[in-house]
Amino acid sequence: MSLDWIYYAISWILLAWHGAWDAIGVPDAAVIGTNWAWILAIVFLVVTVRVILFPVFVKQIKSQRAMQALQPQVKALQEKHKGDRETLQKEMMELYRKEKANPLMGCLPMFLQIPVFLGLFHVLRRLNPDKSEAGKTLYGWTLGQFESASAAKLFTAPIAGKFGSTAEELSRLGANGTTVKIIAGILVLVMMGTTYLTSRQMILKTGWAEDPQQRMIQKLMLYGIPLSLLISGAIFPIGVIIYWVTNNLFTLAQQQWVLRKFPPPPTAISKPGTSTRNPVQPAKTGGLLGRAKAAPQAPAKPAAPKVAGPKPGAKPANPKKSRPAKRQG
């Protein structure tokens, strides 16, 4: 299946934003070693994609809420079919179908962004000044736009360059190898850190899943993907890493807003490998990194007022009628 429609779509959005920034006076020439019109075009490519995918993100949150509500039933099934994994999986799939909950919905926004990521990767990889004229005008580019993008830099490092660029590739881009490695290396570390924080933020707010499959997915999102970027980041053009970092920052802000506006219901918050037999605790709701705010303490019950004893010589408040003493005969 041809992916040209993706390349055309990504190119159109990228060029439209570059033209918009150029029209309002953002210089196309380098300032502080950076061509800001192209950097902002990549940043607002992220904004465009995330606005389009916002309804999917809302569905993701609703699905996660549904999964949380089912945790007591999931735990009951695990106890009932302990040791019978096949029956357990069958019963859980039936439960998810009946309650219209999808365990994979949590990964859907990320999967939908993969074509955008691949499209941008392909478009930036094409920014080779040695290409023929026909190659430069693919996907709706003009010669001027292609030459401008090929020369675009972030702090003197070309956006088409990457950490693993060969000497020949760097020569074609007119780039310094050391500078490209420093800028790309810093961006890869930022990309790993923000990828970890987006997963950590969601897990701390919604809690670790009781379902072993769900928990495995959470661990993969939290640790596996950031670590894999340490290797794969070497082949990403700098422009693609800018896209990834911007997307992560957008995700952090969006998740923070949604989780504050629609806080998760009380759920069991447990760490991997810990017992889940503890009483149910409310999910954390405070702070960007999921740090819980101090819970307001319940007001202490007022102590019973002390009743002062009667003063010497004072009459009692409720004197009882005294009976006359009997006379002794």
Residue 289: the pLDDT is: 47
* Whether the predicted pLDDT of 50 surpasses 50: yes
- Residues sharing a CB contact under 8 Å with residue 322, sequence separation 6 or more, in sequence order: none
Integer CA distances (angstroms), 164 to 80, 175, 235, in order? 53, 13, 6
Our CA dihedral for 303, 304, 308, 310, rounded to 10 degrees, sits at -170
241 pLDDT exceeds 90? Answer: yes
Q: Residues 113, 45: contact at Cβ < 8 Å?
A: no
- In the three-class reduction of DSSP (H, G, I as helix; E, B as strand; rest coil), residue 153 is classed as strand
pLDDT of residue 295: 45
Listed in sequence order, the DSSP H helices in 264-310 are none
Other beta carbons within 10 Å of 79: 8
C-alpha atoms less than 13 angstroms from C-alpha of 174 in its C-beta half-sphere: 9
- pLDDT for 120 equals 93
Query: Which pLDDT value is given to residue 12?
Result: 96
Residue 168 corresponds to which tokens in the numbers above? 């020949």
Please say if the pLDDT value at position 211 is more than 80.
no
Which residue, among 274, 284, 99, has the nearest Cα to 200 in the 3D structure?
284
| pLDDT single digits (tens) 51-97 | 998 888 777 777 777 777 787 888 888 888 888 888 888 888 888 88
Which residue do the tokens 């006379």 mark? 327
How many angstroms separate the first and last alpha carbons of the chain? 127
pLDDT of 261 over the 90 cut = no
Mean of all residue pLDDT scores within the chain: 80
Contacts of 114 (CB under 8 A, 6+ apart): none
Question: How buried is residue 51: exposed, middle or buried, by Cβ count under 10 Å (0-12/13-18/19+)?
Answer: exposed
- DSSP H or E segment with residue 158: strand 157-158
What is d(CA 242, CA 44) in angstroms, rounded to the nearest whole number?
A: 11
- In the predicted structure, residue 208 carries a pLDDT above the cut 90: no
Q: For residues 156 and 16, what is the distance between their CA atoms, to the nearest angstrom?
A: 24
Kindly report, residue by residue over 264-308, the tens digit of the pLDDT. Answer: 665 444 444 444 444 434 444 444 444 444 445 555 555 555 555
d(CA 290, CA 301): 32
For residues 163 and 315, which has the higher predicted lDDT (pLDDT)? Answer: 163
Q: What percent of the chain has pLDDT over 90?
A: 38
Q: What CA–CA distance (Å, rounded) separates 204 from 202?
A: 6
Please give the sequence-ordered ranges of beta strands (E in DSSP) within the chain, or none if there are none.
153-154, 157-158
Most confident of 109-123, 189-203, 234-248, 260-274: 234-248
* Count of alpha carbons within 13 angstroms of residue 115, beta-carbon side: 15
pLDDT value at position 288? 47
Give the mean model confidence (pLDDT) for residues 93-110: 75
Per-residue model confidence as pLDDT tens digits over 142-186: 999 999 999 999 999 999 999 999 999 899 888 999 999 999 999
Return the percentage of the chain with pLDDT > 70, whole number.
Answer: 76
